[in-house]
């Protein structure tokens, strides 16, 4: 039975969007996500089984969750990913996925059977050499072909682009140009500080800098500011005559926490009430004892901070001593 209060935090924000990381593994090694020396992988017995993922997801859906995003690491490398997607697809929620796109051809039918209509693909460069440099792998063509494959199969495709200064900030207009003839939504993401990603403010491409490039290239009447959906993390734009659109996700310079409706479940069954929160609530032991996880969910949400896991001001947010206590991105799933 829906119990909206159970999904509310102390600031009245309702949390109807659950992001589930189903794997800590990945077939890429993106420098801003996977620390140089990799991460200490959680031993298998401490990871959620497919049944446990479904049990926890069902509990959240009964409480009122309306949207579930499957993430990783790279979710599609998990051996039973198809089974998990098909079963989540039966929960009657808006099911979406974030993937690096490499294994997509093996999942088209599964995505359709699971009712997935929107797929987010992580791609930070349209330049093969740069793509290979940042991912430390050679999959550029495959990823680009699979973006076209998804579009051809009628999926809505969103491209997640983490911008970094002196790396791909000179491709902002190329990505916007991509939306002229491709019905994709390009999402420019401000580079965020996490454990092991060598974050530094000097690498940040800000919301204002992205807008500046856009306004320098396009006339005012060509740029449309689209209406943002409620709880949207992105500020949405479109070039009037273009097929696609683009958006900016500015957690660093323009946080959007007042309307946050997101809660995260890590691959080892821990709840994170915020992407930047260092405190987590383990669910698996309680679940495996056959006890209710509802009190843990409520306690976790009631302890949620108003902004960025308690790192309200920039000094706190950009303090390596603080953000290094958090997980690395690969172990959160974005
Ligand atoms: S920083 Fe935390 S509170 Fe703010 S929008 Fe992101 S997840 Fe929500």
Cα 221 to averaged position of ligand 1 atoms, centre (Å): 33
Test site for ligand 1: of 18, 71, 194, 251, most ligand atoms within 8 A of the Cβ: 251
**pTM of the predicted structure, to 2 decimals:** 0.96
Q: Above 70 in pLDDT, residue 52? A: yes
Residue nearest to atom 3 of ligand 1 (CA): 257
Test site for ligand 1: of 190, 235, 258, 260, most ligand atoms within 8 A of the Cβ: 260
Q: Above 70 in pLDDT, residue 50? A: yes
17-21, strands of its sheet edge to edge: 223-225, 235-239, 245-249, 184-190, 156-163, 118-122, 94-99, 67-71, 17-21, 262-265, 270-272, 281-282
Q: How confident is the model at residue 34 (pLDDT cuts 50, 70, 90)?
A: confident
**Of 39-48, 66-75, 215-224, 290-299, where does mean pLDDT reach its minimum?**
39-48
CA dist 262 and 330 (Å) reads 18
Residue nearest to atom 7 of ligand 1 (CA): 274
Strand-pairing partners, residue 162, are: 189
CA dist 32 and 330 (Å) reads 9
Strand-pairing partners, residue 248, are: 188, 235
User: pLDDT tens, 232-265?
Assistant: 899 999 999 999 999 999 999 999 999 999 999 9
Q: Is the CB of 68 under 6 A from ligand 1?
A: no
What's the mean pLDDT in 49-57?
Answer: 98
Q: Above 90 in pLDDT, residue 33? A: no
Residue nearest to atom 5 of ligand 1 (CA): 257
Q: How confident is the model at residue 63 (pLDDT cuts 50, 70, 90)?
A: very high
**What is the domain count for the chain?**
1
Q: Is the CB of 199 under 6 A from ligand 1?
A: no
What's the mean pLDDT in 12-40?
Answer: 89
Query: Helix 128-135 and helix 140-152: axis angle, to 10°?
Result: 110
Q: How confident is the model at residue 36 (pLDDT cuts 50, 70, 90)?
A: low
Question: Which structural domain range is residue 109 located in?
Answer: 4-332
Cα 307 to averaged position of ligand 1 atoms, centre (Å): 6
Q: Above 70 in pLDDT, residue 322? A: yes
Mean of the per-residue pLDDT values of the chain: 95
Q: Check residue 1 and give its pLDDT.
A: 60
Test site for ligand 1: of 263, 275, 311, most ligand atoms within 8 A of the Cβ: 275
From the list 22, 14, 63, 39, the residue with the least C-alpha distance to 265 is 22
CA dist 191 and 231 (Å) reads 20
Q: Check residue 319 and give its pLDDT.
A: 87
Q: Is the CB of 257 under 6 A from ligand 1?
A: yes
Q: What is the CATH number of the domain that holds 79?
A: 3.20.20.70
Q: Above 70 in pLDDT, residue 128? A: yes
User: pLDDT tens, 166-199?
Assistant: 999 999 999 999 999 999 999 999 999 998 888 9
Pick 249 or 334 by higher pLDDT.
Answer: 249
Cα 153 to averaged position of ligand 1 atoms, centre (Å): 33
Q: Check residue 253 and give its pLDDT.
A: 94
């Amino acid at each position: 039975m829906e119990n909206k209060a159970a999904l509310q935090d102390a600031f009245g924000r309702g949390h109807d969007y659950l992001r589930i990381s189903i794997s800590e593994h990945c077939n890429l090694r993106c420098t801003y996500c996977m620390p140089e020396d990799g991460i200490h992988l959680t031993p298998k017995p401490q990871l959620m089984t497919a049944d446990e993922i479904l049990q926890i997801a069902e509990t959240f859906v009964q409480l009122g969750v309306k949207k579930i995003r499957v993430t990783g690491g790279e979710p599609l490398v998990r051996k039973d990913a198809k089974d998990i997607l098909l079963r989540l697809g039966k929960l009657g929620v808006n099911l979406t996925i974030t993937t690096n796109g490499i294994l997509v051809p093996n999942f088209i039918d599964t995505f359709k059977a699971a009712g997935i209509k929107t797929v987010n693909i992580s791609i930070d460069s349209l330049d093969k050499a740069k793509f290979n440099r940042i991912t430390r792998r050679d999959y550029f063509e495959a990823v680009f072909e699979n973006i076209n494959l998804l579009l051809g199969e009628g999926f809505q495709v969103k491209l997640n682009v983490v911008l970094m200064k002196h790396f791909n900030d000179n491709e902002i207009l190329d990505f916007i140009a991509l939306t002229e003839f491709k019905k994709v939504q390009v999402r420019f993401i401000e580079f965020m500080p996490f454990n092991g990603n060598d974050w530094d403010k000097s690498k940040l491409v800000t919301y204002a800098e992205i807008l500046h490039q856009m306004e320098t290239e396009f006339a005012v009447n060509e740029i449309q500011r689209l209406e943002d959906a409620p709880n949207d993390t992105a500020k949405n734009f479109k070039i009037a005559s273009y097929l696609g659109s683009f958006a900016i996700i500015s957690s660093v310079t323009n946080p959007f926490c007042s309307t946050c409706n997101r809660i995260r479940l890590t691959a080892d069954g821990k709840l994170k009430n915020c992407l930047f929160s260092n405190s987590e609530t383990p669910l698996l032991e309680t679940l495996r004892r056959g006890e209710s996880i509802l009190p843990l969910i409520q306690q976790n949400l009631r302890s949620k901070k108003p902004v960025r896991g308690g790192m309200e001001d920039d000094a706190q947010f950009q303090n390596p001593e603080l953000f290094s206590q958090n997980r690395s991105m690969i172990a959160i799933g974005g």
